[in-house]
Amino acid sequence: MPAHTELQQQAAALRAQLNRAAHQYYTLDAPEIPDAEYDRLFQELQALETAHPELRTPDSPTQRVGGAVLEGFAPVRHSVPMLSIRTETDTSPAGAERFDEQVRNHLAGEQRRCELKASDPRHRAEPLHALALAALAGQPIAYVAEPKFDGLAISLRYERGVLVQAATRGDGETGEDVTQNIRTIGQVPLRLHTEGGASPTLPVPPAPPVLEVRGEVYMRRDDFEALNETQRQKMAAGDKAAKTFVNPRNAAAGAVRQLDPAIAASRPLSFFAYGLGEVTPPAEGGPDWASHWQVLQALKAWGFPVSALARQASGAAELIAFHAEVAAQRDALPFDIDGVVYKVDALALQRELGFVTREPRWAVAHKYPAQEQLTRVQAIDVQVGRTGKLTPVAKLAPVFVGGVTVTNATLHNELEARRKDVRVGDTVIVRRAGDVIPEVVAVLPDKRLPGALEFTMPAHCPVCGSAVLREEGEADHRCTGGISCPAQRKQALLHFASRKAMDIEGLGDKLVEQLVDGNVVRSLPDLYRLGLAPLAALERMAEKSAQNLLDALQASKHTTLARFLYALGIRHVGETTAKDLARHFGRLDAVMDANPDQLLQVPDVGPVVAGSIHTFFAQPHNREVVAQLRAVGITWPEGEPAAHALLPLTGKTFVITGTLPSLSREQAKEMLEAAGAKVAGSVSKKTHYLVAGAEAGSKLEKAQALGVPVLDEDGMRALLAGQAPLPGG
Ligand SMILES: NC(=O)c1ccc[n+]([C@@H]2O[C@H](COP(=O)([O-])OP(=O)(O)OC[C@H]3O[C@@H](n4cnc5c(N)ncnc54)[C@H](O)[C@@H]3O)[C@@H](O)[C@H]2O)c1
Ligand SMILES: [Zn+2]
């Protein structure tokens, strides 16, 4: 048993560590350690203080909630404090059982106090609530189970149904006035929906004079990824102020606690309501809730988003089932949750249970495996993708995060790796949430080993040795080896075979791996030269599946030009662009021989895409691949060559206005477009002709002012028939 002063020092050290982390997290929205690490230290301190209550100090993080009010925000005093929730970190079902047991134990304790003699100071005068007695008699307790959203708590104050103030939790007693920022969140009603209601099936209670709604502001994962992608692009473009966010929670907290509402407005935030603060009921006909579930229904009726996952649950068994069910959905949810919350449903029982320091006794947060963990970088590898993009990947000491063991985490590109300054040997925070690839989000600088070297991108492709290039204004480095690079060959084959490309069923990862590694397939046309015997000789390949693959290859030979173009894996040519190209040019040769100017004629093709297509077909080896693919029998129906370029009105822009004598505007538009013209919605300097009918208004005036030639329907028809000279053209 350590000496007492030693324990004191241990407690003081933990408190210092936790206080620093809490400041970083709550006040600065920039945590330095993962939550799991914080929770571990917190529990260590809690255990120490429980074993030795004399070590507890009033300023201990175990005795307080949240953080300080930031300078610049007006403080808001919460008339009903905003508390924390006790955390159950045992992620197994036992966590739910323990909570149910604790609730019962507390009620049993109260019952014993009732039974004591009136002379005993521990005696309790008023009897236990009937629901408590029922629970003690062995009836399952009614709970509500909800997801625990990973965002930041907000209190919304409505007076006579109108949002008047929004505040953060702060230290639980005093929060920050963030009304301006919260108003920018579309999901937060500015006025309670009391008439008609948000849902026609729910009875809508009248608005109480004062209603405080408590809930969580959060950022959806897709919004978060998009925000970080934008930030990365800004950084690549040289914006020094831009930075990426560690996780959706911090991005959301940073946006809400932002002194400039314009910035807050530009960050995509969402909201879930889950409870109430102060409520002043009207004299009569006001809310008369008996349960938390009823409160949630009322919130929904007033127009607040309430999670569809929230559910009534009877006894520990149903809590356990809920925990498991939501766990199974966790990765697929559009937002982060770090656990579920169980709440005693009956408000009378909640009152009976009351609070301890910073937490209600009637609720518990039952956690899931953390989505962020600490681990060590053992190496930084560079992977080469289908298009030759080089991605630095941190090889990690295996770590259980977000429910799976992670050994790789992306560093995106050299710029990101350097900005985060990830080095071999570093202790880092890894995040894995949902389907997103695990990511190193930050380094713990204190734990860096001496002599650790800064990361640099290799000058040569680690797979094929070709030179590595970074295009002007691009964040990514690329291998210049093309499909001669084995890394790109595998990916090129997989892409070629994929459903939206040549759709070769049965040609998956494992097989491609074997075909390329075994040098059986060196280029795309090799696929169509495969014989039954060598295929059937491959690992995990029976003659039957080999034959199936040959059949699939045979079937894939009849395709469309769009699929074929997409299948070639030309950089920047996705499915849509491939379709546009096929429609525009009709024939493959026309695409291959098009110069960038001609490519720019294709709708939605810009200079970058045009350049990429042109470069691709300028490579002799790519033309060779195409020729061989055609030689092995790949065919598609070819259309009219470069039809538009030969039409009489190609390159001319028309605007149509007013009522034409015999044509609808839509018909006129179709006729013009069939002749190669573009039909625009408004007149500008770039307009070549205005076709005007009766009651032409401002467009006619504008055309006249700009000197744009004006045609009537007959004039247009003449032009289409090639009879009139092109005036002004
Ligand atoms: N990484 C760090 O350095 C660091 C530092 C301090 C705290 N933290 C993290 O912050 C958390 C600390 O807990 P806390 O005291 O701030 O509160 P908490 O997050 O554990 O629990 C209370 C909060 O849960 C939220 N919540 C989400 N869904 C809810 C629901 N359905 N019903 C009710 N409440 C719901 C509310 O915002 C409420 O304020 C822990 O997860 C801890 O790891 C991390
Ligand atoms: Zn290469």
pLDDT per position as a tens digit, 113-132: 999 998 999 999 899 999 99
Query: Average pLDDT for residues 13-22, to the nearest whole number?
Result: 93
pLDDT at 727 over 60: no
The answer to whether the CB of 208 falls within 8 A of the CB of 282 is yes
CATH no. of 372-469: 2.40.50.140
pLDDT at 175 over 70: yes
Q: Is 85 annotated as a binding residue?
A: yes
Bridge partners (DSSP) of residue 659 are 694
- Identify the pLDDT of residue 396: 97
Grouping H, G, I as helix, E, B as strand and the rest as coil, residue 212 is strand
Q: Is 84 annotated as a binding residue?
A: yes
- C-alpha of residue 484 to centroid of ligand 2, in Å: 8
CA atoms within 13 A on the CB side of 703: 23
CATH no. of 481-557: 1.10.150.20
Q: Is 587 annotated as a binding residue?
A: no
List, as own/partner pairs, every contact residues 566-570 make where C-beta atoms lie below 8 angstroms and the sequence separation is at least 24, other chains included: 566/500, 566/501, 567/495, 567/496, 567/498, 567/501, 567/502, 568/496, 568/616, 568/622, 568/625, 568/626, 569/386, 569/387, 569/483, 569/491, 569/492, 569/495, 569/496, 570/612, 570/613, 570/616
Report which of 685, 687, 629, 684 is spatially closest to residue 653, judged by C-alpha positions: 687
- Identify the pLDDT of residue 701: 93
Q: Band of the pLDDT at 93, cuts 50, 70, 90? A: confident
- C-alpha of residue 88 to centroid of ligand 2, in Å: 49
CATH number, domain 561-632, options 1.10.150.20, 3.40.50.620, 1.10.10.10, 1.10.520.10 = 1.10.150.20
Q: CB under 8 Å to 362, separation ≥6 — which residues?
A: 103, 343, 344, 349, 350, 353, 354
What confidence tens digit (pLDDT) does each residue in 344-355 have? 999 999 999 999
pLDDT at 198 over 70: no
User: 543 — alpha (psi -120 to 50), left (phi > 0) or beta?
Assistant: alpha
H helix and E strand count, the chain: 25, 24
Q: What class, spelled out in words, does domain 653-721 have in CATH?
A: alpha beta
Q: Does domain 2-64 have CATH number 3.40.605.10?
A: no
- Identify the pLDDT of residue 81: 94
Q: Band of the pLDDT at 91, cuts 50, 70, 90? A: confident
pLDDT at 573 over 50: yes
Query: Average per-residue pLDDT in the chain?
Result: 89
Query: Average pLDDT for residues 131-152, to the nearest whole number?
Result: 96
Grouping H, G, I as helix, E, B as strand and the rest as coil, residue 262 is helix
- C-alpha of residue 575 to centroid of ligand 1, in Å: 43
For ligand 1, atom 30, the nearest C-alpha belongs to 148
Grouping H, G, I as helix, E, B as strand and the rest as coil, residue 451 is coil
Distance CA 608, CA 585 (A): 19
Q: Band of the pLDDT at 2, cuts 50, 70, 90? A: low
> What percent of the chain has a predicted confidence (pLDDT) above 70?
95
- C-alpha of residue 289 to centroid of ligand 1, in Å: 26
> What global pTM score does this model have?
0.70
Q: Which of 17, 18, 23, 25 to mutate to test the pocket of ligand 1 (most atoms within 8 A of CB)?
A: 25
Q: List all residues whose CB is within 6 A of at least one atom of ligand 1.
A: 21-22, 24-25, 31, 33-35, 38-39, 65-66, 84-85, 87, 146, 148-149, 153, 169, 216, 274-275, 341, 365
pLDDT at 286 over 60: no
Catalytic choice (117, 148, 234, 652):
148
Helices (H), 439-502: 486-497
- Identify the pLDDT of residue 671: 85
The answer to whether the CB of 465 falls within 8 A of the CB of 373 is no
- Identify the pLDDT of residue 729: 35
The answer to whether the CB of 69 falls within 8 A of the CB of 177 is no
Q: Is 678 annotated as a binding residue?
A: no
Report which of 678, 681, 723, 728 is spatially closest to residue 706, judged by C-alpha positions: 728
Distance CA 127, CA 129 (A): 7
- Identify the pLDDT of residue 539: 82
Burial class of residue 536 in the structure, from the number of CB atoms within 10 Å of its CB (0-12 exposed, 13-18 middle, 19+ buried): middle
Q: Band of the pLDDT at 503, cuts 50, 70, 90? A: very high
For ligand 1, atom 42, the nearest C-alpha belongs to 35
Q: Is 461 annotated as a binding residue?
A: yes
Bridge partners (DSSP) of residue 153 are 216
Ligand 1 atom at shortest distance from the alpha carbon of 310: 31
> What percent of the chain has a predicted confidence (pLDDT) above 90?
59
Q: Which of 148, 293, 444 to mutate to test the pocket of ligand 1 (most atoms within 8 A of CB)?
A: 148
Distance CA 370, CA 368 (A): 6
Strands (E) in 136-264, as ranges, are: 142-149, 152-159, 162-168, 174-176, 210-218
- Residue 570: C-alpha distances to residues 91, 488, 618, 619, 646 (Å): 47, 12, 12, 12, 27
The answer to whether the CB of 434 falls within 8 A of the CB of 221 is yes
Q: Which of 45, 84, 256 to mutate to test the pocket of ligand 1 (most atoms within 8 A of CB)?
A: 84
Proximal ligand: closest to the CA of 172: 1
Q: Which of 35, 78, 83, 143 to mutate to test the pocket of ligand 1 (most atoms within 8 A of CB)?
A: 35
pLDDT at 642 over 60: no
Q: Is 216 annotated as a binding residue?
A: yes
Distance CA 698, CA 392 (A): 57
Please give the ipTM for the structure prediction.
Answer: 0.96
- C-alpha of residue 150 to centroid of ligand 1, in Å: 7
For ligand 1, atom 14, the nearest C-alpha belongs to 84
Query: Average pLDDT for residues 12-38, to the nearest whole number?
Result: 90
pLDDT at 529 over 80: yes
- C-alpha of residue 460 to centroid of ligand 2, in Å: 8
Stronger pLDDT, 676 or 148, i.e. the higher one: 148
- Identify the pLDDT of residue 686: 87
Most confident of 240-249, 374-383, 443-452, 484-493: 374-383
For ligand 1, atom 9, the nearest C-alpha belongs to 35
- C-alpha of residue 390 to centroid of ligand 2, in Å: 9
CATH no. of 144-367: 3.30.470.30
Assigned token pair, 674: 């069939």
Helices (H), 278-407: 292-301, 315-329, 347-353
Radius of gyration of the chain (CA): 34
Query: Average pLDDT for residues 153-166, to the nearest whole number?
Result: 96
Distance CA 230, CA 363 (A): 39
Query: Average pLDDT for residues 227-239, to the nearest whole number?
Result: 85
Proximal ligand: closest to the CA of 150: 1
What confidence tens digit (pLDDT) does each residue in 433-480 have? 877 789 999 999 889 999 999 999 999 889 878 778 787 677 889 887
pLDDT at 283 over 50: no
Proximal ligand: closest to the CA of 390: 2
- Identify the pLDDT of residue 500: 92
Report which of 218, 298, 225 is spatially closest to residue 250, judged by C-alpha positions: 218
- Identify the pLDDT of residue 1: 55
Concerning whether 148 is annotated as a catalytic residue, the answer is yes
Q: Is 343 annotated as a binding residue?
A: yes
In the chain, CATH 1.10.150.20 covers 481-557, 561-632
Give the neighbor-by-neighbor strand order of the sheet with 710-711.
Answer: 678-680, 653-657, 689-692, 710-711
Assigned token pair, 573: 């040519």
Question: What single DSSP character describes residue 663?
Answer: -
Bridge partners (DSSP) of residue 667 are none
Element (H, E) at 374: strand 372-384
Q: Band of the pLDDT at 205, cuts 50, 70, 90? A: confident
Ligand 1 atom at shortest distance from the alpha carbon of 83: 39
